[in-house]
Chains A and B, each alone.
Chain A
Amino acid sequence: MSDTATKWDAQLRKGSLELVVLAALAPGPRYGLALLNHLHQFDTMQITEGTLYPLLDRLKRDGVISANWQQQGDERPRKYYALTTEGQQRLTDLGARWRQSVADIEALLQQAA
Chain B
Amino acid sequence: MTEREQINTYLTTLSRYLSRLDKGQADEVLREIESHIFDVIEATEQRGQVVDADQILQGFGSPRSLAQSYVEHVTQGTPPPEGFAAIGPVRRNVTKTLYYGMAVFGFSIAAALILTGFANLIVPDSVGVWSAAGGDSIVVGMVSDKVPPGDELTGFWYTPLAVILGYLLLRLTVSVMQVLKRQLA
Residues of A bordering B, CB below 8 Å: 31-33, 48-51, 53-54, 57-58, 61, 76-79
Contact = CB atoms under 8 A, between A and B. Distances in A.
Which of A50, A54, A57 has most chain B Cβ within 10 Å? A54
Contacts of A51: 69
Contact of A79 (B35, B65, B70): B35
A53 to B, nearest CB: 7
A49 B70 contact: no
B60 A57 contact: no
Contacts of B31: 79
A54 B73 contact: yes
A53 B35 contact: no
A57 to B, nearest CB: 6
9 tightest Cβ-Cβ pairs between the two chains A and B: A50-B61, A54-B69, A49-B59, A48-B59, A50-B60, A33-B39, A49-B60, A58-B73, A79-B32
Contacts of A53: 29, 32-33, 36, 60, 66
Interface in B41-94: 43, 59-61, 65-66, 69-70, 73-74, 77
6 contacts: A31-B39, A53-B29, A53-B33, A53-B60, A54-B69, A61-B74
Contacts of B29: 53, 57
Contacts, number: 50
Given A76-B35, A78-B35, A48 B61 contact: yes
Nearest to B58: A48
B32 A32 contact: yes
Contacts of B59: 48-50
Interface string B18-31: 00000000000101
A74 to B, nearest CB: 12
B36 A32 contact: yes
Which of B29, B43, B59, B61 has most chain A Cβ within 10 Å? B59
B40 interface: yes
Contacts of A54: 66, 69-70, 73
A49 B38 contact: no
